[in-house]
Structure 1
Amino acid sequence: MACAPPQKDNGGAQTQSGVKAAEATSAEAFGGMDGLVTAAKAEGELNVIALPPDWANYGAIIKAFSDKYGIKVNSAQPDASSQEEINAANQQKGKSASPDVFDLGQAVALANTSMFAPYKVATFDTIPAKFKDPNGVWVNGYGGYMSIGFDSAKVPPITNVDDLLKPEYHGKVALNGDPTQAGAAFSGVVMAALAQGGSADNIAPGVDFFGKLHQAGNFLPVDPTPATIESGQTPVVIDWNYTNAAETRKLPSWQVVVPPDHAVAGYYFQAINKEAPHPAAARLWQEFLFSDEGQNMFMVGGVRPVRADQMAVAGTVDKAAFSKLPSIDGQVVIPTPAQTEAATKYLADNWAKAIG
């Protein structure tokens, strides 16, 4: 019989200002960044979840953080969905293995803000207002465009969403996750909706499209991973451009297209678990992600960090990485929180029926 993980309470640790680490809303509570670093090192560990090494350069980011501060990073369930992050935090509440921080798609993040601890990183004021909660409950870290990746050695070229209904793609089209749980899949449905005459306010055509894809036998109910792509099991994948682009380094025949007339962008939400077993390390992690160093590392992973434009003006951006970020000339759709909430409800009511 397995023993339950031990309980851990670092939330009671006092900061220099007398505030508990778990209640600190900025590094100033620790007496500044040096004090935060000291407190985080004393905790010695950080628990992250749902951060695949090939996603947004997280493998390198985790290593850089660990090397810089001498803090052990425990990376759990790298292929988990956003909803599974929340589930894990609820199931492991009060235990030392509980996630310290979250990286979430918009729909799941906005539905669970009561679980987040407000915190403003040192660069908070340089982040545009529309990409953050005013109190620091959540902040967008990075984003990208929804795309279609395909193995040109196995399937004909794809130029738009409608191509996916063709017989040549029978049993070959995979979506990264369940759109009721995963941010990438949610945005994939929005992209399909736009291509079918819908909008961020009306994603029904997108759900209908996947229903048609299922009826045609083209929809492949497999959650794609680098392994399924490289083995040929999922030769067509609807996913973020940076995740798809990461595969081109391993599979030269893998190509990526962002439908220019139906471009959908999305940002991932960074937040601290208010029940974090390592509250100081969680706050230091956020500081690292939103520093120039962390933001440039995201950029090397092919994503657009939230501070990219500000850093370009300040001259602190990695110019080589910045120049490689995809740009779309036409209109780009980024669903608002209200649109996301309505679309999430529609998906909950209709997605399973469409692909069942």
Structure 2
Amino acid sequence: MNSSRLAAAASALILVAAGVAGCAPPEKEADGAVTSSGVKAGEATSAADFGGMDGLVAAAKEEGALNVIALPPDWANYGAIIKAFSEKYGIMVNSAQPDAASQDEINAANQQKGKSTAPDVFDLGQSVALANTAMFAPYRVEKFDEISDSFKDPDGKWVNDYGGFMSIGYDSSQVPDITSVDDLMKPEFRGRVALNGDPTQAGAAFSGVMMAALSQGGSPDDIAPGVEFFRKLNEAGNFLPVDPTPATIESGQTPVVIDWDYLNVVETKKLPSWKVYIPNNAVLAGYYFQAINADAPHPAAARLWQEFLFSDEGQNLYLRGGARPVRANSMVTAGTIDMEAYRVLPPVDGSSQFVSEAQNDAAKKYLEANWAKAIS
């Protein structure tokens, strides 16, 4: 999502020999497979339409491939997640544009509609997701009822899969310790503060500006103070208009990065001097939106991918990447969460704030009208 995701290596292809096992493969029609219940795979709203998980697995294996987009290996452990899914089901995963932004995912789906290369699934920031729900297919995973109503569309057109808190990551060998957002205005931070993308297009950057707004007396209803903060930061010469990546962080090119805590935490394992700060007066929480492309070329594989992501295995893989799985509470209760990974999540001091759909829409409109001129 470069903007919305960390830039990563060029598009990768993970291939594991596909095979069909378990249930008999579904009948094929010119416009796609038909499930055992007579519902087309692209219209299935749960695994029950396939006769259960075994039927869904068989249908997905028959398709033999899954197209994902904008999933860098270093983002929320997606490298390991893709590998685990591919190996478990013997399905080829085509990973396109790992450095793309959320809006790029939507653009790709529109540009490639009807083609075998179109994205099957989306992983989107809130602004882009809520603006494009007409493109999503409703689907309720087996664990759907364990997910809070506030983190899902009631029909499953989108479901939050993982999240975290907006943070400031910094190289303590290059800049002083950060104890407030206001510290970023100091002369010691000249040309050093990077934001992960364009907030009019990328979820991480949008949330970074919102975090700044909260720290400056704004609220989820008022992002204007955040835009003003970045205007002043740019005027002071402290704003660095470079999209941060693992490479820019580790080379020292972007010594201060405003981004999700799980992305900044990953860097602490590679750069011992890298620290992560979550402002106690601006504790902004956010989740990414998982959805199925209504025109997915591999509709059964897309639905199996959802089942995997929301299973205990998939949720724990997010957790091992430093992200906070949406099913964490129920998994703690059930004793299925990876407690070792759960205990090392960054501490949060302060009341969490979320941005609602209405607040998101209003903030996005404000950014579209004011962001470019604020940092020009």
Aligned counterparts of 1:256 and 1:90: Cα–Cα separation in 2: 37
Paired positions, count: 348
Is 1:67 matched with 2:101?
Answer: no
Is 1:287 matched with 2:302?
Answer: no
2:346 — aligned with what?
326
1:317 — aligned with what?
337
State the shift of 1:327 in Å: 3.8
CA deviation string 1:22-65 (max 9, x = no partner): 00000111110001001101111111111111111111001000
Letter in 1 for 2:54: D
1:237 to 245, 250, 257: 257
1:196 to 199, 203, 216: 216
Aligned counterparts of 2:75 and 2:165: Cα–Cα separation in 1: 14
State the shift of 1:253 in Å: 1.1
CA deviation string 1:63-113 (max 9, x = no partner): 000000001111111111111111111111111111100000111000000
State the shift of 1:287 in Å: 0.1
Counterparts in 2 of 1:213 and 1:69: CA distance versus 1, 3 Å:
same
2:68 — aligned with what?
48
Report SS of the residue matched to 1:221. Answer: coil
- Give % identity: 74
State the shift of 1:285 in Å: 0.2
Counterparts of 1:23-34 in structure 2 under 5 Å? 23-34=43-54
State the shift of 1:258 in Å: 0.6
Aligned counterparts of 1:190 and 1:333: Cα–Cα separation in 2: 10
Given that 1:10 and 1:21 are in contact with CA atoms closer than 8 Å, whether structure 2 keeps it comes out as no
**Would you identify which runs of 4 or more consecutive aligned residues in structure 1 move more than 6 Å?**
none
Aligned counterparts of 1:260 and 1:13: Cα–Cα separation in 2: 51
1:58 to 70, 73, 78: 78
Aligned counterparts of 1:339 and 1:10: Cα–Cα separation in 2: 43
1:182 — aligned with what?
202
State the shift of 1:250 in Å: 1.2
State the shift of 1:10 in Å: 7.7
1:106 to 106, 126, 138: 126
State the shift of 1:325 in Å: 2.1
Report SS of the residue matched to 2:242. Answer: coil
1:84 — aligned with what?
104
Letter in 1 for 2:212: A
Letter in 2 for 1:235: P
Aligned counterparts of 2:346 and 2:134: Cα–Cα separation in 1: 35
Aligned counterparts of 2:213 and 2:374: Cα–Cα separation in 1: 14
State the shift of 1:11 in Å: 5.0
Report SS of the residue matched to 1:333. Answer: coil
Aligned counterparts of 2:271 and 2:181: Cα–Cα separation in 1: 22
TM-score, with structure 2 as normaliser: 0.91
Counterparts of 1:206-285 in structure 2 under 5 Å? 206-285=226-305
Aligned counterparts of 1:64 and 1:242: Cα–Cα separation in 2: 20
1:38 to 58, 72, 92: 58
TM-score, with structure 1 as normaliser: 0.96
1:6 — aligned with what?
none
Counterparts in 2 of 1:11 and 1:314: CA distance versus 1, 3 Å:
farther
Is 1:299 matched with 2:328?
Answer: no
Report SS of the residue matched to 1:317. Answer: coil
Cα-Cα RMSD: 1.1
Aligned counterparts of 1:104 and 1:327: Cα–Cα separation in 2: 25
Aligned counterparts of 1:148 and 1:61: Cα–Cα separation in 2: 26
Aligned counterparts of 1:137 and 1:239: Cα–Cα separation in 2: 27
Letter in 2 for 1:100: D
Report SS of the residue matched to 2:284. Answer: strand
Aligned counterparts of 2:115 and 2:237: Cα–Cα separation in 1: 44
Structure 1 unmatched ranges of 5 or more: 1-8
